[in-house]
Amino acid sequence: MNASEHLEERKEASTASLALVVGILIGSALAFVLATAPFSALLGPSQAAVPAMFHGLAAFLYLFVGTIGLYLAWRLWTGRIRAFADLQLLATVSATLSLLAIVFGNWLYIYYRAKDPASPRSWFLANVPVIHKIFFEFKEFIALFTLPLTVAAAFILWYYGAQVLDRKWMRYTVAVLLALAFFYLVVAFGLGAAVTKLKPA
């Protein structure tokens, strides 16, 4: 059997099997977590616990997907990518997770800037104003950059399909878009995590 025949014999995993694996993984994780800790203790007593959970979850998932996307973006840059279809999917998932992180971030922001002396914004302004005035303000803006960057990358990947592979500057453009999105994500994620560590909402 030569290499060409071997490749043609490969069959892709079905979408149903992928959904089953993801379902089993998430279900197992939830079962273990709920068996070892009460749900209320996981979220904490804060009113902002629910938006904080969703915002953090979306941002973390985006970081996970974005990391794989960054690797595939580099492969695309070099012109030696084998998983082009996966990159199309990952760029789309990244854009979706970016949107979700922004939407939940807006919800959480209401608690962050509440006119309550105990709110994180009030606390930072009273104690360490530089945290809010420089780091948080920068984070809240650059986090928004991830959405148009990933949407633009996903658009080009779907609009041109495999034609992207033959056009050097189009490969570079998509790779740069995804790399920049990852950069802004990491900066926003790091600053967000630091702010949450210092004073949770």
Partner 1 sequence: MSATAVERDRGVEVAWSPSPEQPRESGPAVAAPLAAALGMITLAVVNLGTAASKAFNEWVHGIGKLWMPGAEGIGPYSGKQTLSLLVWIGTWIVLHGALRNRDLNLGRWLIVFLVGIGIATTLLWPPVFEYLAGH
Chain residues binding partner 1 by CB under 8 A are 4, 7-8, 10, 79-82, 84-85, 88-89, 102, 106-107, 109-110, 113-114, 133-134, 137-138, 140-142, 144-145, 148-149, 151-152, 155-156, 158-163, 165, 167, 169-170, 172-173, 176-177, 180
Beta carbon nearer to partner 1, 31 or 166: 166
- Residues 166 and 168: their CA atoms lie apart, in Å, by 6
How many Cα atoms sit within 13 Å of 151 on the Cβ side?
8
d(CA 57, CA 89): 19
Give me the least distance between CB of 136 and partner 1, in Å please: 9
* Closest distance of CB 184 from partner 1, Å: 8
Nearer to partner 1 among residue 15 and residue 40 (C-beta): 15
H helix or E strand, kind and range, residue 183: helix 168-198
Select 1 or 41, whichever has its Cβ closest to partner 1. 1
Residue reference for tokens 């807006």: 106
User: Minimum distance between the CB of residue 147 and partner 1, rounded to whole angstroms?
Assistant: 9
Could you tell me which of 177, 151, 174, 152 has the C-alpha nearest to residue 163? Answer: 174
